[in-house]
């Protein structure tokens, strides 16, 4: 389960993660180990637009063997955002794009088992190299996103998600795992739903923290429930 910006961005458009970042079984050689250097988003038909997750300059827009039709967008920090397996390319190198601009359409060109977007972020200077990956794209820091975030929910672990989901609906705010605390710096209010406060305080020194953590997942669930019950009117008004 991932909680970062790319997944929320594509999730809002109906895309679903079909293969997360990290170790996996090679889809082309069942049984042998593979390391997935990006996130795959599918669940939408081939041909739908694939928007850029970030603004920047297009530095690549062509077919690269395994990548298939690939668009690369270089952001303001010189990180390279790669959008692979596209059916068609809608941008050309040198072009400037903004977040949300379609860079291509969803496809299955290159090494792909079906229509999906392979989204990968490469470190500065690594271009389109497969080994240049930054890490899990959901852990990448999207600065424009940070300032817009009014509130956020931090989970102790994945098991807290089910209890925290109604709170997320009420607040209309994103969830963060413990590994993504680096993105919380400018969030105004952080709801801590599981786990200790100290690392959250460190990651978001200015934030108001609402401590809904119990000593175990059941206590946490009860605290969240009580909080929702006592503050329903306020949360609804905040909409």
The residues binding Zn ion (CB under 5 A) are 40, 118
Rank residues 82 and 192 by Cβ distance to Zn ion and give the closer one. Answer: 82
**Which residue lies nearer to Zn ion by CB, 40 or 160?**
40
Question: Is 22 or 93 the residue whose CB approaches Zn ion more closely?
Answer: 22
| Min dist. Cβ of residue 27 to Zn ion (A) | 9
Q: Is residue 223 within 8 Å of residue 214, measured between CB atoms?
A: yes
* Alpha helices (H) in 131-184, listed in sequence order: 143-148, 161-171
Q: How far is the CB of 99 from Zn ion (least distance, A)?
A: 21
d(CA 113, CA 111): 7
Q: Name the residue nearer to Zn ion (CB basis): 74 or 118.
A: 118
CA dihedral 95, 128, 176, 145 (to 10 degrees): -20
| Least Cβ distance, residue 117 to Zn ion (angstroms) | 8
Taking the least distance from each CB to Zn ion, the nearer of 40 and 75 is: 40
Phi and psi for 164 in degrees, rounded to 5? -85, -15
Distance in Å, CB of 26 to Zn ion, minimum: 11
Q: How far is the CB of 43 from Zn ion (least distance, A)?
A: 14
Question: Closest separation between CB of residue 36 and Zn ion, Å?
Answer: 6
Q: Token pair of 221, please? A: 């669930």
For 115, phi then psi, to 5°, come to -65, 120
Q: Are 80 and 57 in contact (CB under 8 A)?
A: no
Please give the C-alpha separations between residue 136 and each of 50, 88, 94, 153, 160, in angstroms, as whole numbers: 19, 25, 26, 20, 21
Instruction: Compute how many other C-beta atoms are within 10 angstroms of the C-beta atom of residue 131.
Output: 9
Pseudo-torsion of CA 57, 62, 66, 71, nearest 10°?
Answer: 20
Residue of this chain nearest to Zn ion (CB atom): 118
The DSSP 8-state label assigned to residue 20 in this structure reads -
Nearer to Zn ion, 74 or 85 (CB): 85
């Amino acid at each position: 389960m991932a909680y970062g910006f790319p997944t929320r961005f594509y999730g809002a458009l109906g895309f679903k993660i079909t293969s997360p970042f990290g170790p996996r079984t090679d889809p082309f050689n069942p049984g042998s180990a593979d390391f997935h250097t990006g996130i795959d988003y599918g669940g939408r038909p081939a041909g739908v637009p694939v928007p850029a997750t970030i603004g920047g300059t297009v530095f690549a827009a062509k077919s690269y063997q395994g990548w298939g039709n690939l668009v690369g967008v270089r952001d303001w920090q010189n990180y390279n955002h790669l959008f692979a397996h596209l059916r068609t390319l809608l941008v050309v190198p040198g072009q400037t794009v903004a977040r949300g601009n379609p860079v291509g359409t969803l496809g299955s060109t290159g090494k792909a088992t079906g229509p999906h977007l392979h989204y990968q972020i490469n470190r500065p200077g690594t271009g389109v190299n497969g080994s240049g990956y930054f890490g899990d794209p959901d852990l990448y820091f999207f600065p424009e996103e940070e300032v817009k975030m009014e509130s956020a929910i931090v989970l102790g672990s994945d098991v807290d998600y089910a209890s925290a989901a109604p709170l997320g609906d009420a607040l209309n705010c994103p969830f963060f795992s413990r590994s993504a605390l680096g993105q919380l710096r400018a969030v105004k209010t952080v709801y801590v739903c599981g786990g200790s406060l100290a690392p959250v305080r460190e990651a978001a020194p200015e934030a108001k923290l609402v401590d809904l953590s119990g000593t175990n997942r059941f206590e946490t669930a009860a605290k969240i429930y009580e909080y929702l019950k006592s503050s329903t009117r306020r949360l609804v008004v905040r909409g």
